[in-house]
Structure 1
Amino acid sequence: MLTFLFSAVFCAAYLSPSISHVEGTAFTEQEMSHYRDRIKSMFYHAYNSYLENAYPYDELRPLTCDGQDTWGSFSLTLIDALDTLLILGNHTEFQRVATLLQDTVDFDTDVNASVFETNIRVVGGLLSAHLLSKRAGMEVEEGWPCSGPLLRLAEDAARKLLPAFQTPTGMPYGTVNLLRGVNPSETPVTCTAGVGTFILEFSSLSRLTGDPVFENVARKALRALWRTRSDIGLVGNHIDVITSKWVAQDAGIGAGVDSYFEYLVKGAIMLQDEELLAMFHEFDKSIKNYTKFDDWYLWVQMHKGTVSMPVFQSLEAFWPGLQSLIGDISSATKTFHNYYSVWRQFGGLPEFYSIPQGYTVDKREGYPLRPELIESALYLYKATGDPTFMQLGRDAVESIDKISRVN
């Protein structure tokens, strides 16, 4: 997550010229250069600290200056950081890390891994690195991009996830053992996002390797989930992948659901797929009809549409960016400013924010460096050129450096 934060903010600062014909105050080139340098410094402080204190573990624990494995012992920070290294222009380190991962990462391990997290972070990270490797100056195999060591690693990781999809519905279990498959005692209950967040990585794998199995299982899971929507067009939060019965019936756009909608839109764009886009547009109508209030999105009962939780969750902050991708700039901007007002109130987004009370929800006050609002700001800035969205990037740099830096 931290590397995505740096990538999103740096992309906006690096790729965007000074603009003065729109609302807000344009950033001067001197200011842009200042924040580019700040972001680079912040990234390398975190990255070098990981290398010095935590490698080969997945993550650095900054207070104790040691490492821990969190998602399967894959040196995950290195996989997360590869695209950021390229964005920062560090081709030498990209090449070193890509080669190191080829030599050290092994998925034949007796580890219980999250199917969702392994896909978006490991498979997705390796695929991105593979597709960027030529741009980073690496020698590529004959037949690239349909061949290459990072692609083979991504394929190996994805094949370890396939047993999770062997259910009567085609919807995957949430956890799989990379060596033994699905544990017989594994719960069949998983979140909506854990079912519907595979089409980007798995379709890419199928197109690059020529093996349709990955895209087929991802599409089957999406279609199975689509068939479970309620009469008013909503989906819940957790579902039984064996019976297709909803276990948690709160409907919203936040935690447990969020990336399902994200992947419908981004999958439709990447694959030029009308089916995925049509699914999203149908959901979007119901979401606006039943969950949208004053440009906030609440949680409602999926069958009745009655409000169950009048809260804003930080994971919902991807939504304005998603709206911008389908051209709904007006709605996206209004919702973004609601979310940005919460950021300005606290210097970050709390996990849960009570909309009626205008304050955090007890025991959900923390901000675990989620990048969603920054991603939305990037998309909206690129869509409108309004420097107001760049101001969120500036605020993010200042906040993250202040509240998260450990020297």
Structure 2
Amino acid sequence: MSFQARQTVRPLDPPPQYRTTTNTLGGYGLSAPRMPQTVTSYFGNDRALPMYKDKPYFAPRRTVPRRRWKLILNVLGVCTLIYLWYYKGSLLSWNTTAPYDAQDKGLELWKWVQSLDDTGASKGSVDWDERREKVRDAFVVSWEDYEKNGWGYDEYGPMTNKRRNMVEGGMGWIIVDALDTMILMNLTKPVQHAREWIHTSLQYNQDHDVNTFETTIRMLGGLLSAHYLSIKHPELAQITDDDVGAPGEDLYIEKATDLADRILGAFDTRSGIPLASVNLNKSEGIPAHNSGGASSTAEATTVQLEFKYMAKLTGESEYWTVVEKVMEVMDDLQPQDGLVPIFINPDSGKFKGNEIRLGSRGDSYYEYLIKQYLQTSEQEPVYKEMWDESLQGIRKHLLAFTQKARLMMVAELPSGIGGNLHPKMDHLVCFLPGTIALGATGGQPLSEARKSSSWTQQNEDEILISRELMKTCWATYLATETGLAGEITYFKLDKEPVMMADKYPLAPSNAGSTPKELQSISGPLTRSDSDPWRSDLSIHTADRHNLQRPETVESLFYMYRVTGDEIYREWGWEMFVAFVRHTAVLEEVYDEEGQAQKRIKGFTSLSNADTIPPVTRDNMESFWMAETLKYLYLLFSDRDFISLEEHVFNTEAHPFPRFKPAGDLKTGWTRKPRSAPDSGSGPESL
């Protein structure tokens, strides 16, 4: 049967579509033909320079003789008028013929989601393998839409097929970021196509500044993770080599090395603190434009996992020492109770301003403390000390309880320690419950960790905190009409805020005592509109957008892996169903009898997630495929698939292996004696 689809914009030179006729984990296109080797064959086996570096960004532009332009424009004008008259409609909707087979994922997904109840439940017992496959299907729909209508571009809007590059030729922002997700999902042919683009089109010599942190965590992290997975799991997304005699994984590490060398220029400052941006062509750092040259504290301290793994892979200690120096400078400032202001001056190496928060510009500093400790197989205890100190500071100064339901939330300190609490939580803060649980057990199952002689009451307290904060993050989803959280949530506290430090004072570290499991502080979250917890939350009009962020599902992934509690899987499933139901971009498909059906074309961010239908914003963030769908897929997978005991995920969800550092790859510094809180030089003013 033939079908006709109404689409928004005609695709430009669409690549082959990747479809499968099975719902199992088999890779897409396992029998795909080998990539052509014409370039290698022509130049022989001399590989002094990787061939991908010699490729142009784009095909040569064809020119049209000047005299023909007038005729062409006239013809186009007439066609446009006929088009408008015939359809009496918009410039964005028109008909084109496109065949869809019976396994079209967009068609299947929309039919499926319409059959579910409000919570995403369906008839029959829960099958987590089937649920995982639905996540995989959603990824395939997103990828195919991008591949067809936005291929090679760094930004893509699935509603209008708008696309834009960050720099000339593109950075691979979407392709590289999603690469390891495709490998984990065993999507062979999409990986082959992405790899071909990286091989032929991706270059890092653009004379343009890019964000140091974002480029490191997304692009460098994506390449390193793809390299690792292609070696560790060769059974996933098996592909052919790009060059004769060159192992398949070489491309990723060569690209990563080229990129890392260029990023190093950002660290060339008096203090060693990296500048906010870097010109890749010149390998020169560029100060931030909107903060008086100060760098974000989180950004400066969230490049360590990537560069340390680079050092491990290449044996080049410079990668290690430049990022290790940053951590030494940070710790030498002796932040009070381990809580750091959100800006730091790359020139002086001192904090700028006093504001403390675990949302934007603060979040991943704390995340990478415990993850650096785990990445190096617990061989660098300085990071465990820093993490424990910061966690105690968070508990003492930031953890507060809401007025009615006693939900635990993480407040902000706009004026620093000693100032008033600001009861506001960015969605970004929802990385914290999972990270605390990860730090408490080191990634082990809770039941096993509790058997250790080193398990203390402090560890039990951390599990309680992680559970309570996870519940609060989940409440921000239940609080909206779509079931998808807003970007920022405000909480109602008592006039004199009740703090975690007041309700549960820090237990002494008595290794000989038997830790006591603490009971839940807040009650269950019901869906009743009259439930008291709802009056504790407020989402301002300007903050109701949902950007497909991953932090809550990231924590659900860790919480399930650590505690084994199925409730975290169920919450994740409800989130996934809400994403499919409310962020799907739909198009109509007509069969030859004219019967209309709807299929999902892609998924987009929302400008307002607190109304139905939601208000969309025509943008697919790269972390939708790199993080959100990846964490959902892992949440519904077996626990030993990419296990927490053997891996550490960077802040963009790219998995790296744990390893034991040797030789020059070591901390190389010791912590200075702690000063009194009111001594020493304070931070610079903003």
Answering whether residue 553 of structure 2 is matched by residue 367 of structure 1, we say no
What amino acid maps onto 1:181 in structure 2? S
Aligned to 1:270: 375
Q: 1:381 to 1:165 in 2, by over 3 A?
A: same
Task: Give, in angstroms, the shift of residue 84 of structure 1.
Answer: 1.4
Q: 1:104 to 1:306 in 2, by over 3 A?
A: same
SS state at 2:425 partner: strand
Write the mapping of 1:339-358 to structure 2, written as runs, cut at 5 A: 339-346=473-480, 347-356=483-492, 358=537
Write the mapping of 1:145-164 to structure 2, written as runs, cut at 5 A: 148-164=250-266
Write the mapping of 1:178-217 to structure 2, written as runs, cut at 5 A: 178-182=280-284, 187=289, 188-217=293-322
Name the CA distance, whole Å, in 2 between partners of 1:268 and 1:139. 36
Name the CA distance, whole Å, in 1 between partners of 2:152 and 2:286. 31
What amino acid maps onto 1:74 in structure 2? M
2:162 aligned residue (43, 66, 87): 66
Task: Give, in angstroms, the shift of residue 152 of structure 1.
Answer: 1.2
- For the Cα contact (< 8 Å) 2:412–2:422, is it kept in 1? yes
Answering whether residue 581 of structure 2 is matched by residue 402 of structure 1, we say yes
Aligned to 1:10: none
- What is the RMSD of the two structures over their aligned residues, measured on CA atoms? 2.5
Answering whether residue 391 of structure 2 is matched by residue 284 of structure 1, we say yes
Write the mapping of 1:51-200 to structure 2, written as runs, cut at 5 A: 51-70=147-166, 73-134=170-231, 135=234, 136=236, 137-138=238-239, 148-182=250-284, 187=289, 188-200=293-305
Deviates more, 1:207-216 or 1:302-311: 302-311
SS state at 1:330 partner: helix
Percent identity over the alignment? Answer: 24
Write the mapping of 1:19-30 to structure 2, written as runs, cut at 5 A: 30=126
Aligned to 1:311: 424
Residue deviations 1:276-300 (CA, integer Å, cap 9, x gap): 1211111111111111112211111
Q: 1:144 to 1:267 in 2, by over 3 A?
A: farther
Residue deviations 1:138-180 (CA, integer Å, cap 9, x gap): 46899989x7221110111111111110111111000111112
- For the Cα contact (< 8 Å) 2:210–2:278, is it kept in 1? yes
Deviates more, 1:364-373 or 1:35-44: 35-44
2:326 aligned residue (203, 209, 221): 221
- For the Cα contact (< 8 Å) 1:319–1:376, is it kept in 2? yes
Q: 1:176 to 1:28 in 2, by over 3 A?
A: farther
Name the CA distance, whole Å, in 2 between partners of 1:112 and 1:28. 53
Name the CA distance, whole Å, in 2 between partners of 1:120 and 1:90. 23
Which structure would you say has the larger Rg? Answer: 2
- Higher percent of residues as helix: 1
TM-score, normalization by structure 1: 0.87
Answering whether residue 143 of structure 2 is matched by residue 47 of structure 1, we say yes
- For the Cα contact (< 8 Å) 1:252–1:287, is it kept in 2? no
SS state at 2:373 partner: helix
Name the CA distance, whole Å, in 1 between partners of 2:390 and 2:173. 33
Aligned to 2:361: 256
- For the Cα contact (< 8 Å) 1:236–1:246, is it kept in 2? yes
Residue deviations 1:313-349 (CA, integer Å, cap 9, x gap): 1000000110111223221011100111111112122
Task: Give, in angstroms, the shift of residue 111 of structure 1.
Answer: 1.9
Task: Give, in angstroms, the shift of residue 395 of structure 1.
Answer: 1.4
Name the CA distance, whole Å, in 2 between partners of 1:403 and 1:321. 26
What amino acid maps onto 1:277 in structure 2? K
Residue deviations 1:8-63 (CA, integer Å, cap 9, x gap): xxxxxx9xxxxxxxxxx9x9765424422321221111111101111111132122
Q: What 5-or-longer segments of structure 1 have no aligned partner?
A: 1-13, 15-24
Task: Give, in angstroms, the shift of residue 202 of structure 1.
Answer: 0.3
Name the CA distance, whole Å, in 2 between partners of 1:233 and 1:256. 16
Name the CA distance, whole Å, in 2 between partners of 1:303 and 1:58. 37
Q: 1:219 to 1:401 in 2, by over 3 A?
A: same
What amino acid maps onto 2:475 in structure 1? S
Q: 1:329 to 1:28 in 2, by over 3 A?
A: farther
Task: Give, in angstroms, the shift of residue 274 of structure 1.
Answer: 1.1
- For the Cα contact (< 8 Å) 1:234–1:251, is it kept in 2? yes
Name the CA distance, whole Å, in 2 between partners of 1:367 and 1:163. 35
Aligned to 2:349: 244
Deviates more, 1:81-90 or 1:66-75: 66-75
Aligned to 2:569: 390
- For the Cα contact (< 8 Å) 1:170–1:221, is it kept in 2? yes
Whose RCO is larger (CA < 8 A, sep 6+)? 2
Name the CA distance, whole Å, in 1 between partners of 2:132 and 2:352. 46
Name the CA distance, whole Å, in 2 between partners of 1:93 and 1:186. 36
Name the CA distance, whole Å, in 2 between partners of 1:229 and 1:143. 48
SS state at 1:169 partner: coil
- For the Cα contact (< 8 Å) 2:213–2:299, is it kept in 1? yes
Name the CA distance, whole Å, in 1 between partners of 2:414 and 2:147. 46
- For the Cα contact (< 8 Å) 1:238–1:246, is it kept in 2? yes
- For the Cα contact (< 8 Å) 1:235–1:302, is it kept in 2? no
- For the Cα contact (< 8 Å) 1:262–1:322, is it kept in 2? yes
- For the Cα contact (< 8 Å) 2:268–2:285, is it kept in 1? no
- For the Cα contact (< 8 Å) 1:351–1:366, is it kept in 2? yes
- For the Cα contact (< 8 Å) 2:423–2:491, is it kept in 1? yes
- For the Cα contact (< 8 Å) 2:154–2:165, is it kept in 1? yes
SS state at 2:216 partner: helix
Aligned to 1:3: none
